[in-house]
Structure 1
């Protein structure tokens, strides 16, 4: 809303932000701003391991280039009648990406207020604030909670709380870049691996129980039940294999994706140098032509002079926006690496 970008926004049951998206650059209170949208760990099209690798690759690459975030926004739907296991896990992974020292730059934004009555929304907000299992611990360490009323004014108010922040590195950036840890050794990676192992153990127990039921069905010559149990056993076996592969590939896939991202960034930077040089030359030529016209004695009216001054001012104001920034480049590179175009 605030950037005027046309990013994918989910309106149905499926997630739309399945890749890191970079919004158009915009200006607010004289500050140049870019917003970066990432998928959550409850994505319907990507596994948690894929989401972690994607976000980690983006954050590590930007940090290596000397870029830090002035703020991090966590969105929570106030329309959710409870903060269940998925939401709790999503927020836990978010905390472990950020780390405790970055919480002063975190804003928790509740949205979807139009979907509930004021009384219900305020009651849910109060519970989120006071309960230790929800947002209370991070709020006590400096994070803020704000409401988004789906208006431009409320979006500007939220960003106003972040504009003057001192940019800080996130925990996963320091772990991957400064401490040179493998992604599976980071706090977020270790937590994800722990969850994957718990899922695997749960599936193993379910398979053992199914095998006992299948033996009983065979003993009773219950062919229909036996076939149903075979189908379920196959499903569990495939799910167990998937979970085990996710854990094993977390580190190797991250390293490969990070290398491809860096390769794309190098290629794009080389192409961008020549393109920017041409664009800057054309921009300077336009400015020079307008300034030459302004200095000519042949200008017949004050209106003509005012028109040239207006065009010159617009050109100089728009000039910096014409040349793609770092986050735009890395956003485009992310699209190529993960196979999705914005």
Structure 2
């Protein structure tokens, strides 16, 4: 879901009693003094839970609160593997989010929390694609602002297996290796307020030492007049879509070679008819996906974030 940055933040004042340790801000200081942190991750990784624990509220999207005299803004972003929305739609939403008036009008991000559930499955192609897309959105200069926060530790009994799982992602060739090599940190989120505050505190420390962050996608959208296909993220998504198109074309060719006899008449064997039915269903599924990917490629090529709105969001 695209963030509603223009909503009335005064609603937060009514929730000041919700936490002893964290109070919502009564007034907004100068925007440049706020610590702005984007939360990304797969759907169900625990972004909303993290925000609720950190702030002491149940507000699901953009939350402002005070932590150790610093005003924090936690911003939820679209889930990277939402089954209902393609990666193209998610990238479009993120690009529009960066161009939108509101929180980012005169303010840059301070860091990014990449929440990822602890899982014992092998790294799949979809996870690598999501991570590569995230890297292209941020750029290498921003990796030092990334905290990879692992979640759902309580659901796993063997910490030894978890450590092996983490080592695989950190090692050379691992899905997180490049980000970690350029400064990203992996931290355990224990699903409590103290853990969430420690992670936020790490980003505050980095900002105090190095200043603010401008993601690569934001810079490139300015330089290429809003054309998403010209950005590193757009090129990465184009690569992924093209790879999928080539793969589907090849699979359809192989599938056609295994075509069973047609089964139009009633005199045909029931087993033959069922075999053809399954073959045809599988073919239709691949053709449908191929057409969707081709449409996504076409849309990606023509996708332009409205440059007038984008420049206004940067320069006021």
Structure 1 unmatched ranges of 5 or more: 9-21, 267-342
Q: Residues of 2 paired with 1:194 and 1:203: CA distance?
A: 14
How far did 1:257 drift? 11
Decide which structure has the larger Cα Rg and report it: 1
Counterpart in the other structure of 1:147? 188
Q: Are residues 1:35 and 2:71 paired? A: no
**Aligned residue-pair number:** 249
Structure 2 unmatched ranges of 5 or more: 1-52, 264-270
Task: Say if 1:112 and 1:149, in contact at 8 Å, map to a contact too.
Answer: yes
Which residues in structure 2 correspond to 1:253-264 (within 5 Å)?
255=305
Counterpart in the other structure of 2:279? 229
Change beyond 3 A, Cα 1:177–1:4: farther
- Root-mean-square deviation (CA, aligned residues, Å) is 3.0
Which residues in structure 2 correspond to 1:122-201 (within 5 Å)?
122-166=163-207, 167-201=212-246
Correspondent of 1:120 among 154, 161, 169? 161
Change beyond 3 A, Cα 1:122–1:57: same
Change beyond 3 A, Cα 1:200–1:57: same
Task: Say if 1:57 and 1:257, in contact at 8 Å, map to a contact too.
Answer: no
TM-score (norm 2): 0.70
Q: Deviations over 1:92-119 (max 9, x none)?
A: 1111110011111111111111122222
How far did 1:63 drift? 8.8
Task: Say if 1:72 and 1:105, in contact at 8 Å, map to a contact too.
Answer: yes
Describe the SS at the equivalent of 1:34: strand
Describe the SS at the equivalent of 2:115: strand
4+ residue segments displaced more than 3 Å: 215-218, 221-224, 251-260
Change beyond 3 A, Cα 1:200–1:145: same
Change beyond 3 A, Cα 1:253–1:4: farther
Change beyond 3 A, Cα 1:79–1:226: closer
Q: Deviations over 1:106-154 (max 9, x none)?
A: 1111111112222222232233223332222222211111110111001
Correspondent of 1:65 among 86, 105, 109? 105
Counterpart in the other structure of 1:98? 138
TM-score (norm 1): 0.65
Describe the SS at the equivalent of 1:74: strand
Q: Residues of 1 paired with 2:309 and 2:249: CA distance?
A: 35
Task: Say if 2:245 and 2:294, in contact at 8 Å, map to a contact too.
Answer: yes
Counterpart in the other structure of 2:10? none
Change beyond 3 A, Cα 1:195–1:108: same
**Higher normalized helix content (fraction of residues):** 1
Q: Deviations over 1:218-250 (max 9, x none)?
A: 7xx944333332222222221111111111112
How far did 1:7 drift? 5.1
Counterpart in the other structure of 1:2? 54
